[in-house]
Amino acid sequence: MSLHKEQQLIAIIQLLGQGEFYSGQAIADNLGVSRAYVWKLIQQLQDLGLGIQSVTGKGYRLEHLVELLDGQEIQQLLMAHDIDLRLVTDSTNEALKGEGFAHNRLVIAEYQSAGRGRRGRRWVSPLASNLYWSLGWKTQLPVQQLGGLSLVVGLAIVEALRQLEVTGVELKWPNDIRFQGRKLGGILIELSGDMVGGLQVIIGVGLNVHMSDRVTETIEQDWMNLQELKSGISRQEVLVEIIRQLGVYLEQFEKQGFHTFLDEWQKVDECYNQKVSIIQGDETINGCGAGVDENGAFLLQTGKGMKPVYAGEVSLRLR
């Protein structure tokens, strides 16, 4: 999408975001374009998942109040990071791959056309509803020590939410952020580029904030919005608090290792002492969740003893 088009779409969202009806002609005058073109832009916003009401004789209005993220303000609040806020992108993880990678570069999008979840799933990413971001993190840790990284990212998110008075959020190994069994968000960690002089890690996070039901028919899991836990919660505040907390936790992880987070993990481990199944290809192993080891591997208590399970292509289900 051209920058010019993006700016036109942002201008419409800002105009309609004031909560009043605007006629097609008024929008056209405001943007200096034709009414027919406004109609096309409105269609495009609807295709991106934005709820726009259209009432004959009155014009257009947003179904819900929409506050776009403010890149400049985020940059001021997170000085150590290089903020790249986009209205539309394919996937923020993709944007950090190869040449796009830089340590502490934070790519944020209001919409992802090809958002990806773990195990090849699609991540539904409607416009201006949730948080979608990826952080570039260069580390000297060897790849074998990164097993606990997604858990540490999850813990930083839980702690940031707690700071914002959202409590009771739990983690389902290895990458789900949940509340009473419903998914609030997920973490997708990928490695990028050549490994000389340290690993290039991409930490991608999607967090549901106020996503409408209209766009979620394809989501297989039971999900929920952060807004249900704290009404009116600001996406921007949540984002900034998480990135701050993540900086602290990543430093601790790199310097002191995952074992220093074991107690914290146990407090929010949704599977602890629960009957679970591990599914790996055609094989299913049943057992009971017994926490994680000092490398972040899931511990499954089976009839034949304790079995450590490593993330990758495995799926964990609560029974």
117 is in an annotated binding site: yes
Q: Does 118 participate in binding ligand BTN (rule CB under 6 A)?
A: yes
Q: Does 117 participate in binding ligand BTN (rule CB under 6 A)?
A: yes
Q: Which of residues 159-178 bind ligand BTN (CB under 6 A)?
A: 175-176
**Among 105, 178, 183, 235, which one carries the catalytic annotation?**
183
196 burial (CB, 10 Å; 0-12 / 13-18 / 19+) is: exposed
- Work out which of 186, 287, 289, 296 binds ligand BTN, going by CB under 6 A: 186
116 is in an annotated binding site: yes
Stretch that binds ligand BTN, among 8-16, 57-65, 88-96, 143-151 (CB under 6 A): 88-96
Q: Which of residues 128-157 bind ligand BTN (CB under 6 A)?
A: 132-134
Q: Does 121 participate in binding ligand BTN (rule CB under 6 A)?
A: yes
CB of 176 or CB of 241, closer to ligand BTN: 176
Q: How far is CA 314 from CA 132, 133, 187, 294, 317, in A?
A: 24, 24, 15, 19, 10
**Among 105, 118, 178, 235, which one carries the catalytic annotation?**
118
183 is in an annotated binding site: yes
Q: Does 92 participate in binding ligand BTN (rule CB under 6 A)?
A: yes
- Work out which of 41, 84, 93, 243 binds ligand BTN, going by CB under 6 A: 93
CB of 93 or CB of 245, closer to ligand BTN: 93
User: What are 302's two structure tokens?
Assistant: 């089976």
273 burial (CB, 10 Å; 0-12 / 13-18 / 19+) is: exposed
With CB atoms as reference, the residue minimizing the distance to ligand BTN is: 186
Whether 319 and 288 have beta carbons less than 8 Å apart is answered as no
CB of 117 or CB of 291, closer to ligand BTN: 117
Q: What is the dihedral of CA 275, 280, 281, 283, to 10 degrees?
A: -50
235 is in an annotated binding site: no
Q: Which of residues 205-224 bind ligand BTN (CB under 6 A)?
A: 205-206
Going by their DSSP bridges, the two strands 82-89 and 105-112 should be labelled as: parallel
If you ran DSSP here, which 8-state letter would residue 98 be given? Answer: G
Query: What value, to the nearest 5°, has the Cα angle with vertex 217 and ends 215 and 218?
Result: 100
DSSP secondary structure letters along 112-166: ESS-B-GGG-B----TTTSEEEEEEEEE-S-GGG-TTHHHHHHHHHHHHHHHTT-
- Sign of the Cα torsion 39, 44, 45, 49 reads positive
**Quick check: is 183 catalytic?**
yes
**Quick check: is 118 catalytic?**
yes
Backbone angles phi, psi at 310, to 5 degrees: -100, 145
118 is in an annotated binding site: yes
Q: Which of residues 229-288 bind ligand BTN (CB under 6 A)?
A: none
Q: Does 81 participate in binding ligand BTN (rule CB under 6 A)?
A: no
Helix, coil or strand: residue 168:
coil
Query: What value, to the nearest 5°, has the Cα angle with vertex 185 and ends 71 and 245?
Result: 55
Q: Which of residues 96-115 bind ligand BTN (CB under 6 A)?
A: 112, 115
From 217, 191, 33, select the one nearest 101 (Cα to Cα).
Answer: 191
CB of 121 or CB of 138, closer to ligand BTN: 121
225 is in an annotated binding site: no
What whole-number distance in Å separates Cα of residue 67 and Cα of residue 72? Answer: 14
Residue ranges for the known binding site for biotin are: 91-93, 112, 116-118, 183
What residues are annotated to the active site?
118, 183, 317
Q: List residues binding ligand BTN (CB under 6 A).
A: 91-93, 112, 115-118, 121, 123, 132-134, 175-176, 186-188, 204-206
Residue ranges for the known binding site are: 91-93, 112, 116-118, 183
